[in-house]
Chains A and B, each alone.
Chain A
Amino acid sequence: MTFSDHYFDIDRLDRLSRKETFVHRLDPRVKTIATMLFLITVISFPKYEVAALVPFFLFPVLMLTLGDIPAGFIAGKILLVSPFAILIGLFNPFLDTRIVAVVAGLPVSAGILSFLSILLKFVLTISAALLLIATTSFPGVCHALRQLGFPAIFVSQLLLLYRYLFVLLEEAMRIVRARDMRSSGARGAGVRVFVRLVGVLFLRAVDRAERIYHAMLSRGFQGDLPTLRPSRVTAVDLAFLAATIAFLAGFRFSQVAEGIGRSAQELLR
């Protein structure tokens, strides 16, 4: 029985999200909205679009560098992420073999174009999500969701989930370690043991929830998790949002990459 590396990533992202940079200081609501707009814009490109997607890398690159996030870490996560989209996209070149171009003597099929398009969209969307959380603390995102109209009860338990994620992961690691010390090799890695182990973890979790509830009651809990976080949207935030929208609209509706390419051709000529 092994313990997934994902745990350490949560911890790393959590640490990164508490840095103090220009990007980190932006209002979480503004960042969340900007990210969602970015995603919708990227996804809205048609199936075979490749070149026009490239300029959109500017957004994650700016977030990454201005937010002082290590590029290698994000790149590593993108590579390791469950490759469902790529797996499905990989079929395209084999199924859509209409040749639409010949590059360097090699025929390019429509399927390759649509696969490349999926690949670019995949990297863009994944990095945008990761960079949102790497530059915004998770509680910040939760408060943003609350202010954007998500139900209070959803946000409350989301905050609690995040808080106890770290506690329960520690607990799970302790249980797994204790198990591993007493089982050699494959023994102890099966479903049967797993069930017992998770059962124990479950009972402890329920007891903990009860204790937390008492602690909450002792401090006047009435069904809500109030916070003093008068996050006000500043002029800088609005400027950021406006710039993002302008950037997205500009790159969506004009062929930047192609224009530059054509100018380059002209120059060379």
Chain B
Amino acid sequence: MHMADALLSPAVGTTLWAGTAAVTSYASKKLKREIDDRTIPLMGVLGAFIFAAQMINFTIPGTGSSGHLGGGMILAIILGPHAAILVIASVLTVQALFFADGGLLALGCNIWNLGFYPCYLVYPLLYKPLVGNSQKPGRILVASLVSAVTALQLGAFSVVLETLLSGKSELPFGAFLLLMQPIHLAIGIIEGLVTAGIINYVRSARPELLETMAALRPLDASISLKKIMATFIVLAVITGGALSWFASTHPDGLEWSIEKVTGKGELPEQENGIAPVLKGIQEKTAFLPDYGFKPAGNDAKEGEAPPVWPGIEAGTSVAGLIGAVIVLGMIVLIGMGIRSFRRGCT
């Protein structure tokens, strides 16, 4: 599941971007030093391959719903972690731009969730030890299953954390987890089966191929994991710290937004001479009817809404609503104007 821009706060978005930037530039440096030239076209073509494979849907056994290949694990297995994370980042970039999957700010999160875990955690710490030097299809199947499931669980868990830290969703932690983890267990199992299937197919059709490709890449870097984590933590602390300092100077949340929307001291004027039309509107649209400014005697709705949220001034909020509609209308008109002007020109 792709993390989305609309759920992100700037602090979480930029922190994860910083982490992703650190990991990908580390991977690029590593590759630049140790890679065989021929890996560059291989990376590009395999990225395109993941896309082509994703375009083909298949039916998930027993459910009738359709699935497709994610591809993170298979890239890590074939290309090794450094090259794989760059390819995954590329695939996600193209998805963010062309399919609007997630968005460009959330891209940092998505590369982290879907790239970092399979490449730098699961592949060196789970897949490699589980497979060992064995070529047996059964062993590959087990390793792929465990790896894909773990990678996707970590990814889904990150989505939950990122969403909660951003604070745009009201979902409580537990409920969100219950929503995300089981779905991704299912997705992970499918991904593992497909990954193992492809690896085993390639192994039987062209046994030498995987070895040749393994020889192309630099030594797998489970050792340097520490370095990556350290860089990420430092970057996260710096950006997170800077941003939360910045954010703390502006109180966040409902209070703040309402405070901003209202602006003080205009209420009395409005109370004095409201036109009958607007008065009608206001009666229908009165925010927080129990609040003191309402014209006396107009208390029909007083009992309906519980007095939970003091501090909202009706007149200005209505102004916001009316303004929003007017602005939207203006923007549409501008758009149509430009369009017809262009048509007229050509």
Please determine if A and B sit in direct contact within the complex, based on CB atoms under 8 angstroms apart.
yes
B201 and A92 contact, CB distance less than 8 A = no
Number of chain A residues whose Cβ lies closer than 8 Å to a Cβ of chain B: 132
Whole-angstrom CA separation of A111 from B171 in the bound complex: 11
B324 touches A257 (CB 8 A): yes
A58–B44 CA distance with the chains assembled, in angstroms: 37
- Pick the contact of A138: B97, B206, B308 (CB < 8 A): B97
Q: Please, which residue of chain B has its CB at the minimum distance from the CB of A51? A: B320
Q: How many A-B residue pairs have CB under 8 A?
A: 429
Q: B35-43, B130-138, B219-227: which lies at the A interface?
A: B35-43
CA distance in complex: A104, B69 (Å)? 48
Q: Evaluate contact between B254 and A85: CB separation under 8 angstroms.
A: no
Given the complex, which residues of B lie within 8 Å of A6, measured CB to CB? 55, 98-99
Chain A residues contacting B315 (CB-CB under 8 Å) are: 265
Contacts of A85 in B (CB 8 A): 4-7
Contact present for A36 and B46 (CB under 8 Å) = no
A256 at the interface (CB under 8 A from B): yes
Interface residues of A in 174-211 (CB under 8 A from B): 176, 186, 189-199, 201-203, 205-206, 208-210
What residues on A are CB-neighbors of B28 within 8 Å? 151-154
Q: Are B284 and A104 in contact (CB under 8 A)?
A: yes
Query: Are B38 and A213 in touch, CB under 8 angstroms?
Result: yes
Contact yes or no, B201 A171, CB < 8 A: no
Give Cα A116–Cα B101 distance, bound, in whole angstroms.
20
**A144 close to B (CB within 8 Å):** no
Given contacts A77-B100, A99-B306, A205-B45, are A157 and B86 in contact (CB under 8 A)? yes
- The interface bits of chain A over 206-222 (1 if a CB of B lies within 8 angstroms of the residue's CB, else 0) are 10111011001100011
Compute how far the CA of A126 lies from the CA of B101 in the bound complex, rounded to whole angstroms. 8
With both chains docked as a complex, state the minimum distance between the C-beta of B97 and any C-beta of chain A, in angstroms: 4
List 10 extra interface pairs beyond A101-B288, A102-B304, CB under 8 A.
Answer: A1-B59, A47-B257, A49-B257, A65-B335, A95-B172, A100-B287, A156-B44, A172-B55, A195-B198, A201-B53
Interchain Cβ contacts under 8 Å between A and B, 10 examples? A85-B5, A88-B176, A100-B287, A100-B288, A160-B41, A199-B205, A209-B41, A216-B41, A217-B37, A269-B275
